[in-house]
Structure 1
Amino acid sequence: MRPLWLCRRCGHPWPCGAAKVALSAEYRDSPVSLFLYLASCLHDAIDDLHQLHPNDTGNTANVFDRFLGWPAQHRSRRPPTADPQTPEET
């Protein structure tokens, strides 16, 4: 729900847990696109929230983590995969 940036289903700050699961599934094969989408949302949210509360800028680190911190944490928990392009020793 804009301009408050709350989930329409649960009322928690968006992206809520359910939204994170849905976004992870939707962008599973394109993590860069997920970051770009969330960065765009972050930009819009900063504008919207600032218009609602111009004297309260809030904690920028928390807002950044809310939108862009969780996908990085999610990716760092994945086990490393073998690189099929690694040159063989001769």
Structure 2
Amino acid sequence: MTTTATDQHTPQRPSWDCSCCGKDWPCSPARIQLSEQYGPRRTDLAVYMAVQLGHAAGDLPAATTSTQLYERFIEWTRP
């Protein structure tokens, strides 16, 4: 599947909403795109998402808990 820039579900900072669909990033389409991009390298995907979690932790409101961030950014990367 080929995607164009307008098909890319990327985060908008500092809200961390998807630039394409407006949902919390990583939205379902972003998770699919990232899974396809990283393929069998699930550990690399988890490391990338951990870095994104670190950035998001600094941007998102203090009301966002570490559990919520883990569930949003990391949990889905597990096989």
Please say whether Structure 1 and Structure 2 have the same fold, judged by a TM-score greater than 0.5: yes
Q: CA deviation at 1:32?
A: 1.1
Letter in 2 for 1:61: T
Per mean C-alpha deviation after superposition, the further-off stretch among 58-67 and 18-27 is: 58-67
Work out which of the residue numbers 67, 71, 80 in structure 1 matches 2:77: 71
User: Which position in structure 2 is the counterpart of 1:58?
Assistant: 64
Structure 1 unaligned runs (5+)? Answer: 76-90
Higher relative strand content: 2
Larger Rg: 1
Percent of aligned pairs with the same amino acid: 34
CA distance in 1, matches of 2:64, 2:13: 17
Q: CA deviation at 1:63?
A: 1.2
Paired residue total: 68
Q: Tell me the TM-score normalized by structure 1.
A: 0.71
CA distance in 1, matches of 2:66, 2:50: 13
Instruction: Verify: 1:5 aligned to 2:11, yes or no.
Output: no
Q: Tell me the TM-score normalized by structure 2.
A: 0.80
